[in-house]
Structure 1
C-alpha cells in the first residue's frame, strides 16, 4: 500500500492486475495438475501391460529371480535360483515357496517362473520293478 501511495499508482488498476496474475497462476497450476494426472494414467497403463499373468498351483516347481545378487559381473551372474516348490498360493499374488533345505517363505508371484528341469526331490522318483516290465 505504501509503495502504491509513494509511486502515485492507481490502486484499482494495480489490484485488478494482481487478481488477474493470481488467476493466471491458478490456471497454470490446474494445467500442470491435469498433465501430471494424464502422465500418471499413461504410466500406470504401461506398467500394467508389462505385468505377466502367471498361474501357479500347489506342488509346481519354480525358479526365483535373484535381483539382489551382485557377487559377479552381469555376464557371470546367475539370475535365477532354485528350484523351489510352491507350498501355498495367495489371492493377492503372493506365493509361499519352500526350498529343498530351509524354511518356507513368501515371495511376489512376478519374481517366479515355472521350472521344467529335473527335480531333485526323492519323493517324486518313482521306483519301477524290473520284474513286472
Structure 2
C-alpha cells in the first residue's frame, strides 16, 4: 500500500513543457515513468518532426482538430477531433498539425522512461 498522497495540479499552474517548433506543451506533472499535460497548436500550424523515445503516448482532443503524419516518408495520416483519442507508440516519428481555423488543444498522457520528446529532422524515407 502506498503512503504517497493524491495530488492536484491546477490548470492555471502548468509549466512550459519540452519544446517542439509549431506547438506549445504545458506540463501538469512528470515522474520517472509518467508525463501528463496539454498541447496547443495554432490554426494552420504544423509541428516539427519528433518522437517520444520509450514513451507510449495518449492524446485526447478537447478542442479543434489534430492531424498526425507518420510512417515511411511521413506518408501515413490520421485526423482526430473533439472527443477522440489518439495513441502514438514508442519511437514513432511524427508531426502534428492543426488543419482548422481554431486553436486545437489536447490532453497528453505518456508512460515510459527517458526524455519525453526527441526532435528529429524527419521520418525515414518511403
TM-score range (shorter-chain normalised) is under 0.3
Higher relative strand content: 2
TM-score, normalised to structure 1, is 0.21
**Larger fraction in helix:** 1
Structure number with bigger Rg: 1
